[in-house]
Structure 1
Amino acid sequence: MSRLLFIFMVFGLLLLPFTTLAQQSRDFSPYKMGSQELTLSGSGVSDNEFDKTNLSLDIGYGYFFNQNWQGFIRQSLNIVDQPGDNAYNAATRTGVDYNFNMGNLRPFLGATIGYIYGDGVKDSFIAGPEGGLKAFLSESTFLIVAVGYDFIFEDADEANDTFDEGVFNYRLGLGYRF
C-alpha cells in the first residue's frame, strides 16, 4: 500500500503547476448534458542510439450525461521496436468519471474496465480506479494529467485475487471539448 501512496504523492506534485494556472485564468463554463470531448495523449522512449524505441498513443472520446458525470471509451496502442523484434500491445477501456467543477481546473475520479491484448501480454480483462485533472487553456481546449491503476484478470473469480498485482498507467495529453 505504501507504493500506492507514493504514486499519488508524485501525482499530487505534478499537479502543483496547474494551481498557478488556475489562479491566473478566468472561469470557463461547466460541462452540459450532451457535451463531448476528444483527448490525445502520447509518449515515447528511445535509447541513446535509437536502436530500442517504445512509443505509446492514447485516444479517447467522452460524453457527458450531465455537468459532472462522463462516460468514455479509450484506445491505447504501444509499439516496441527493438533490433530483430517488433511488438505491439493495446488496451481498449470504457468507464465513467465524475468531474468536479472548480473553474478552469476540473479534477476527476472514476473507474474503468477493458481488455488488454497483443504481443508480450496475456490477453486479459483489466479494471480499476483512475483520477486526474483537466486544466482548461481556453473554453474548449485543456491539458489532461491522469493516473490509473489496472488490475488484470481472466474471469470474475480471479478479479479479487489479482488486485494487489496491478499496474499503474499515466497519461499526459491535450483535450478538446465540443
Structure 2
Amino acid sequence: MKKLIGIVISIMFLIIFIGFFWIKTLVSSDPLEIVYSYEDRWGISMPLPNKVTELWTEPFAARGDGTWVKCLDFTNQNTSFTQYMIKVTETNQKEARQYVSKFISNSINSYSEDYKVKIQNVFQDININVDIGDYYYYNSKNRGEDYFICLYKVNEQVVYTFEWHQ
C-alpha cells in the first residue's frame, strides 16, 4: 500500500513538473523559448531577436487560453526569416490589415469593461500599421480558433507577433 501511495505521489509530482514547464514556455519572455515555440507551434523559424518586449498578455494566460502581443527587435540582424512570410503589396495589403484588425477587435471584445480600456490603450500606444514593403505571416489551427499573426516592419526592423488561443 505504501509503495502504491509513493508511486501515485511521484506521478503527481511529475505531472505538476511537466505542467509547470509547459505553462512557463507558453507565457515566457525568454527569446530562445519564444522563437522555439513559434517554430514548433506555428511553423515559422526566426533567429534569436536582440530583445523581446511583451506588449500585452491576457490576464489569465496561465490557463493556456489567451492573447499575447510581443515585439521582437531584429535591428542589424539577418532577416532571412522573411522567406516564410508574404511581402505586403498593394494587392494583399487589405488582407494583411484584416488579420491584424481581427486580432485587435477580438481581443478588445473578449474582455470585460475593466480590461477593454487597458487593451485599447495598448493598441493605441503601439499604433500598428501594415505598410507596403512589410512582411506578414498567418497560420491557424483548430478551425481558426487558434491563430498567429507575425508582422515584420522593415523600416523599424521589428516583428510584432499576435497569438490567439481559445
| TM score, norm. by length of structure 2 | 0.31
Structure of larger gyration radius: 2
| TM score, norm. by length of structure 1 | 0.29
Which structure: greater helix fraction? Answer: 2
Higher relative contact order (CA 8 A, sep 6+): 2
